Structure 1
Amino acid sequence: MNFDQELENIITLGTTIVEAKKRCEAVMNTIETLHLSPSCKHTLIRLIQSELDFLSRVSSTDSSEPSICVNIGHLEAVVHILQQPNISGVSRVCKKIPFQKSTDNGLHNSNSKSAHVDIVCTFNGNPVWFIVSDRNPKYISWYSQHESSKDKGWQSKVQLLLEAAHNSVALKPTSIIFFFSNGLGGFTLEKFRNEFGAVNVNSKFSNFNVNFSNELGGEWLDILTRSYEQASVLEIKIDCSQDVPKDPIVHNPLVKVNDDIFCGSFGVLISLMDSPENGKIEGDLINFDTTALIAIVSGISNGSTHNLLATPENELKKRFKGNTEFVIGQVMAEIENPIHKEIRNVLSGRKGIICESVCSEFKELVSMCGGVNEKLRADQLLKHVAVIADSPSVRMMSLPTTRKLALKNKIVFGTGDYWHAPTLTANMGFVRAVLQTGMSLFTFEHRPRALTGD
């Protein structure tokens, strides 16, 4: 190798390392802005830090290699998917999912396997797995190149993933989505379609351009732009027939009462909801837990904030006892950010459902603690939601019942999961406990409100 060639290689390698480091730092900054659990963030940051450590070890004066193989493109693509607006309930990132294959008699083999999944989450309300590849399409092979090769080819990878999906319960997806950020060759694309029934779902993604920003110091930002216009996004459906919703047992007629008079923000909220007709549960649904129903009818949410603030402290303590500070905190939060306005977009156009357990608990709490107006609002609200039989999903009930995963909550959230309906809740302790098991869960959070006797 002559001197000019050697110098060119050194410059190329050095440039690659600098650019790769910039990309790592930019993606790390983006991760900090994502709404992810600490464990998911920790996993992604650890992987990027490992990449940075590798880049730091590579000597820019090593002329033996004109370029290096970096993994930051894969992590960029993973973060790009996590930024999609229809992604929620992310429970695992870049982890292997262990499983044991069932035998014909329903038992499990003693030999366990595992399949790597880049994202376990809900996508458009359904539990899915995402598999991400950032490889050049020229180097994506369908069949194994060599028996001893670590790269078994995508045919084997897909078979393993389907085996893992079918033998999972709590983590079972309704589909597996493959995101090839640089596209796919025609041969591999046809194999995906013909052998596994994969369909193109590029249209389900709202944005194929992404910016990662890296602070340069002061007010300057280095914007690193990447386009995924050439990406191929394929979906393979998983047979979930055992958990397909059956006709519900509906316990109220769900006929909108024309002479109901809805006042204030409560009336606006109810009018935005789409009441089911003739007991039909279909379309966009929203599942309420007890905390959500209480928050909607609470006097705090319906104009009693100033009256409560004007009440002498000794009267408040007599009424709310040890919960006085908690209630006043809710009052101040309501003045700053009204909860009906906060959840309006979540409820708009959706049909509300509650399970029997929630209905019973809600009625009992309102009867014991609600005032006249709160009881009237509760009656009106119950006329505009479908009260259905407790029907928790198989995957939710497969989770162990513990103090943090109480059976009653598994029934409530599991019923929403069974009907593929997000649950509106303030019970984020339960949501976090579910996510920690690795199971994705579709929920919307609201801030708590208490009954005030209004």
Structure 2
Amino acid sequence: MNYQGNREEEVEAAKKRCRVLIEKIDSLGITITQPCKHTLSKLAHSELSFLSRFPNPTSSQPLSVNIGHLEAIVHILQQPFITAVSRVCKPLPLPFSNTNKNDSSSSSSNPIHVHIVCTLNKNPVWIIVSDRNPNYISWYPRKKTKGFKSRIQQVLDAAQSTNTLRPFSIVLFFSNGLTNFIHQKLQDEFGASKLALEFSDFDFCEEFEGEWINVILRSYKEACILEIKVDRVVDDVASSEHRTKDPLVNVLPPECQGGNAYLNLGLGNSFSALVSQMKKVGSTKVEDFPGEDDFVNFDTTALIALVSGISNGCAEELLNKPEVELRHRFKGNYEFVIAQAMSEIQNPIHGGLSAAIAGKRGIICESVLSEFKELVLMCGGANEKSRADQLLKCLLIVRDSPSERLMGLPTTRKLALKNKIVFGTGDYWHAPTLTANMAFVRAVAQTAMSLFTIEHRPRALTGN
């Protein structure tokens, strides 16, 4: 009977862990896509459903082998340095591989199992999570397993086989630690090194008898986190040359830059405050950017949002105008513009953009510069044109230099070439792209590629 009581308590404790886990999945931030959330939630609900149907308490059947694994994955996703999560707990097919078609590792019929595809410290990474007892992780093949060495080799082969989805590194997260033997083998045979990041524990709140109490799901003080840099084992000379190119050679010469010596920021308090928070261009000489990579890439939607009359105090004035006048003025875009004006009154966009660009050096590529100037010339009013002129003086203008991996994606209606150039240039500079073009961002995520972007709400030019 005592065994039965202990087993019932064990089942209930496992159910509680599942319920808390489901709550945490629901509360994950915007760095993870909805399909990824759905996948995690489905797995957690499946665990809870299994536990609810669990056999009689005297059964020797193990409770669940997946709760701890899912907890570890969610723990990683909560970390602030994890961004642009594009795939979780799904096989990773490599349909855009550039390797030999006879290479089975590159075939889409042989998907690779990694647990998280995301961006870590501005670099794309694949993360493999192990929640096993470290004593049960086998390096060499056994009766029912190929061994951990074989697993890592397969993932590395897959990473080397593709340009579009190739990660900068493969991160191994062992939530229960690692034996010295396996640790040494990973270091000697794959060049694995400890990842110098501090993973924080998080409090989980749960209601208990009408009061909220803090519950820590579990601690990861014993966790071992290793990194295998894929580039160290790639022998492709062309790829090596691409990686070692200095992005600063793609800065346009000084005569093409606006310069910012005579900025006139008397064009609205919020605009002036926002632009003044960015690092100034100052110079376009390569030696003036020693090792700097603190950039943010603006696409056309971001530039329009900064200078739009809606964002700069004209929202209420716009809403007070007669509907017939506005419909004649904006035609088919009437509802779109009115929705933006109402959104601006409720939540001004400049305040939200401050966190994204403060202390950063803004960059735009030639394609964005050309498109922005054309749109402002055609649709912008006098104030919007003045703000546009001032904004361009604060930005570093770079050549169109899209990354190899973005350009390697097939060009389709959703993955238009012009967008691949703009976002790819940001990727080349290891800079997040500030954008309202979430259709393109979603299309990229559907390929399983992790792309560092920052979303903002759209704004239109109003002729103000």
When normalised by structure 2's length, the TM-score is 0.88
Distance apart, 1:346 and its partner CA: 0.6
Q: Structure 1 pair 54/183, CA: closer, same or farther in 2 (3 Å)?
A: same
The equivalent residue for 2:93 is 98
Alignment of 1:191-206 (within 5 A): 191-201=185-195, 203-206=196-199
Is 2:320 aligned against 1:307?
Answer: no
The answer as to whether partners of 2:167 and 2:230 remain within 8 angstroms in 1 is yes
> Which residue of 68, 76, 79 corresponds with 2:71?
76
Q: Deviations over 1:21-41 (max 9, x none)?
A: 111121112111123333212
Is 2:47 aligned against 1:47?
Answer: no
Range with greater deviation from structure 2 (421-430 or 323-332)? 323-332
The equivalent residue for 1:138 is 135
1:182, 1:14 → 2: CA distance?
A: 25
1:224, 1:205 → 2: CA distance?
A: 17
Is 2:389 aligned against 1:375?
Answer: no
The equivalent residue for 2:102 is 109
Q: Deviations over 1:91-135 (max 9, x none)?
A: 1111222359989xx522163433210000111221111111111
Give 1 or 2: higher strand fraction: 1
Range with greater deviation from structure 2 (243-252 or 344-353)? 243-252
User: Aligned with 1:120: secondary structure?
Assistant: strand
2:63, 2:250 → 1: CA distance?
A: 61
User: Aligned with 1:387: secondary structure?
Assistant: strand
2:111, 2:447 → 1: CA distance?
A: 16
> Which residue of 154, 157, 163 corresponds with 2:151?
157
2:278, 2:189 → 1: CA distance?
A: 43
User: Aligned with 1:108: secondary structure?
Assistant: coil
User: Aligned with 2:90: secondary structure?
Assistant: strand
Q: Deviations over 1:256-284 (max 9, x none)?
A: 53332213222221211113432446321
Q: Deviations over 1:145-168 (max 9, x none)?
A: x2x322x33222211111111112
The answer as to whether partners of 1:126 and 1:174 remain within 8 angstroms in 2 is yes
Is 2:275 aligned against 1:270?
Answer: yes
The answer as to whether partners of 2:96 and 2:164 remain within 8 angstroms in 1 is no
Q: Deviations over 1:161-204 (max 9, x none)?
A: 11111112322111111111111122222222222222212x42
Alignment of 1:314-325 (within 5 A): 314-325=324-335
> Which residue of 408, 420, 426 corresponds with 1:398?
408
User: Aligned with 1:22: secondary structure?
Assistant: helix
Aligned length: 440
The equivalent residue for 1:249 is 250
2:151, 2:409 → 1: CA distance?
A: 27
User: Aligned with 2:217: secondary structure?
Assistant: strand
Q: Structure 1 pair 53/310, CA: closer, same or farther in 2 (3 Å)?
A: closer
User: Aligned with 1:248: secondary structure?
Assistant: helix
Is 2:229 aligned against 1:237?
Answer: yes
Range with greater deviation from structure 2 (134-143 or 117-126)? 134-143
> Where in structure 1 do 4 or more consecutive aligned residues deviate above 6 Å?
100-103
Unaligned stretches of 5+ residues in structure 1: 1-6
The answer as to whether partners of 2:96 and 2:408 remain within 8 angstroms in 1 is no
1:348, 1:58 → 2: CA distance?
A: 53
2:53, 2:340 → 1: CA distance?
A: 53
* Letter in structure 1 aligned against 2:123: N
Is 2:368 aligned against 1:358?
Answer: yes
The answer as to whether partners of 2:293 and 2:431 remain within 8 angstroms in 1 is no
The equivalent residue for 1:9 is 3
Is 2:357 aligned against 1:347?
Answer: yes
The answer as to whether partners of 1:91 and 1:120 remain within 8 angstroms in 2 is yes
The equivalent residue for 1:4 is none
User: Aligned with 1:322: secondary structure?
Assistant: helix
Distance apart, 1:206 and its partner CA: 4.6
Distance apart, 1:74 and its partner CA: 0.4
> Which residue of 197, 212, 220 corresponds with 1:228?
220
The answer as to whether partners of 1:9 and 1:63 remain within 8 angstroms in 2 is no
Unaligned stretches of 5+ residues in structure 2: 232-238
User: Aligned with 2:218: secondary structure?
Assistant: strand
Range with greater deviation from structure 2 (421-430 or 83-92)? 83-92
1:394, 1:345 → 2: CA distance?
A: 29
When normalised by structure 1's length, the TM-score is 0.90
Q: Deviations over 1:280-334 (max 9, x none)?
A: 4632111111000011111111222233234333332332223233222212211
User: Aligned with 2:56: secondary structure?
Assistant: coil
Q: Structure 1 pair 242/122, CA: closer, same or farther in 2 (3 Å)?
A: farther
Q: Percent identity?
A: 55
**Cα-Cα RMSD:** 2.4
Distance apart, 1:219 and its partner CA: 5.8
The answer as to whether partners of 1:287 and 1:353 remain within 8 angstroms in 2 is yes
The answer as to whether partners of 1:120 and 1:440 remain within 8 angstroms in 2 is yes
> Which residue of 82, 85, 101 corresponds with 1:87?
82
Is 2:128 aligned against 1:128?
Answer: no
The answer as to whether partners of 1:143 and 1:153 remain within 8 angstroms in 2 is yes
2:96, 2:340 → 1: CA distance?
A: 50
The answer as to whether partners of 1:291 and 1:427 remain within 8 angstroms in 2 is yes
The equivalent residue for 1:3 is none
Distance apart, 1:377 and its partner CA: 1.3
The answer as to whether partners of 2:293 and 2:429 remain within 8 angstroms in 1 is no
2:60, 2:395 → 1: CA distance?
A: 69
